[in-house]
């Protein structure tokens, strides 16, 4: 994506992003009215229910042979990807008849979106579902209705590529920088040895294309999530089954605790990833994936430095925001996370 194209996209986004969805806590009742207003070329279908009986929807788009599956909010408190998907829906709807890429996308690809897999967790602003199951660690046992549903869609749709959308904590920085890891990518491993299979290389090549776009917009704010193998994780298992799975982790950006700026970068990542898949049939440029810096864990929301303790020693204290739903509203509080010598750590606020 060239700079002139990014400039045009930036102007479109500023005027047209899905402004009905803002803030960190995005609920089923927020997205359902928007979903039900989608018309051609979108096809909306209810595909199941959550453990508490809330509706789970899919949106289908396009008629082409390349099959791509995208889902968000399998962790209910990770909503940035959901907002980005609805921004993408608006972009496709606005550009269907005028934009060559969108026309090609609809002709060359068939896409299935599940914009909110865990509506119960979304309501409670929790990672887990109503039965305290982490859907992202339930790919083998399939204890949760939501996990069974996602696996059914995977098996029946048989996608070549998947986009697994998450949020990550503010603690993550880009290794070598104080910058937060605003977007991090991962090509999941299929085994403990982190074997570089053909599928992993193809996944990495798509990530390389997305990173090249984001580096033009948020240089040195893109990280690489650890590729440690998790035997029960969704991405690792889908990759192992032959479905190239791209994990996108949306993180922090300056003063953006609601992640209403980060959603734009998430949208750019999705759009550039889809553009790469539309216009390429072989995916071999994977080596630059390893040039993306790792995620570090050196940032805190607040650091108070050089406090004198009761025994007259000097210490520093780091705090992180934690969130909970109180009276149906999302509230945050600062919680102490670490105390001691914090010279190697950075605070988004410091005193």
**Which residue is associated with the tokens 């990759």?**
239
Count other C-beta atoms under 10 Å from residue 197's C-beta. Answer: 17
The ranges assigned to domains in the chain are 3-296, 299-350
Residue with tokens 């996370």: 337
Can you give the three-state secondary structure of 165-222, one letter per residue? EEECCCCCEECCCCCECCEEEECCCCCCCCCCCHHHHHHHHHHHHHHHHHHHHCCCCE
Q: What order do you get walking across the sheet with 299-308 strand by strand?
A: 329-340, 314-326, 299-308, 346-350
Instruction: Note down pLDDT in tens along the chain; length 351 residues.
Output: 777 888 999 999 999 999 999 999 999 999 999 999 999 999 999 999 999 999 999 999 999 999 999 999 999 999 999 999 999 999 999 876 678 999 999 999 999 999 999 999 999 999 999 999 999 999 999 999 999 999 999 999 999 999 999 999 999 999 999 999 999 999 999 999 999 999 999 999 999 999 999 999 999 999 999 999 999 999 999 999 999 999 999 999 999 999 999 999 999 999 999 999 999 999 999 999 999 999 999 999 999 999 887 777 889 999 999 999 999 999 999 999 999 999 999 999 999
Find where tokens 């008849």 sit.
97
The correct answer on CATH 1.10.1500.10 for the domain covering 3-296 is no
> How many Å apart are CA 201 and CA 253, to the nearest integer?
29
pLDDT of the residue at 203: 98
pLDDT of residue 3: 78
d(CA 18, CA 65): 29
The four Cα atoms 43, 152, 263, 208 give a dihedral, to 10 degrees, of: -110
Residue 97's pLDDT is 63
Q: What one-character-per-residue DSSP string does 17-47 give?
A: S-TT--SS---HHHHHHHHHT--TT-EEEEE
């Amino acid at each position: 994506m060239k700079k002139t194209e990014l400039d045009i996209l930036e102007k479109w986004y500023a005027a047209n992003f899905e402004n009905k969805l803002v803030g960190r806590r995005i609920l089923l009742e927020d997205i359902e009215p928007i979903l039900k207003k989608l018309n051609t070329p979108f096809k909306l279908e209810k595909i199941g229910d959550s453990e508490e009986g809330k509706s789970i929807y899919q949106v289908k788009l396009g008629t082409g042979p390349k099959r791509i599956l995208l889902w968000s909010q399998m962790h209910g408190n990770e909503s940035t990807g959901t907002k980005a998907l609805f921004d993408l829906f608006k972009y496709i709807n606005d550009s269907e008849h005028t934009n060559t890429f969108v026309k090609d996308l609809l002709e060359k690809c068939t896409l299935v979106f599940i914009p909110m897999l865990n509506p119960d967790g979304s309501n409670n602003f929790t990672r887990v579902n109503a039965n305290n199951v982490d859907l992202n660690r339930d790919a083998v046992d399939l204890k949760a209705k939501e996990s069974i549903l996602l696996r059914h869609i995977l098996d029946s749709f048989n996608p070549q590529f998947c986009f697994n959308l998450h949020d990550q904590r503010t603690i993550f920085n880009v290794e070598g920088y104080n910058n937060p890891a605003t977007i991090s990518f991962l090509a999941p491993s299929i085994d403990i040895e982190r074997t570089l299979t053909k599928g992993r290389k193809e996944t990495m090549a798509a990530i390389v294309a997305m990173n090249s776009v984001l580096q033009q917009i948020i240089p040195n704010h893109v990280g690489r999530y650890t590729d440690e193998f998790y035997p029960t994780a969704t991405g690792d298992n889908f990759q192992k089954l032959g479905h190239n799975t791209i994990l996108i982790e949306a993180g922090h950006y300056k003063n953006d605790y609601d992640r209403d700026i980060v959603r734009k970068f998430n949208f750019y990542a999705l759009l550039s990833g889809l553009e790469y898949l539309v216009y390429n049939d072989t995916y071999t440029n994977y080596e630059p994936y390893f040039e993306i810096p790792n995620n570090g864990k050196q940032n805190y929301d607040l650091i108070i430095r050089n406090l004198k303790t009761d025994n007259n020693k000097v210490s520093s204290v780091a705090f992180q925001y934690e969130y909970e739903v109180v009276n149906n509203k999302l509230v945050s509080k600062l919680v102490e996370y670490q105390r001691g010598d914090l010279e190697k750590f950075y605070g988004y606020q410091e005193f």
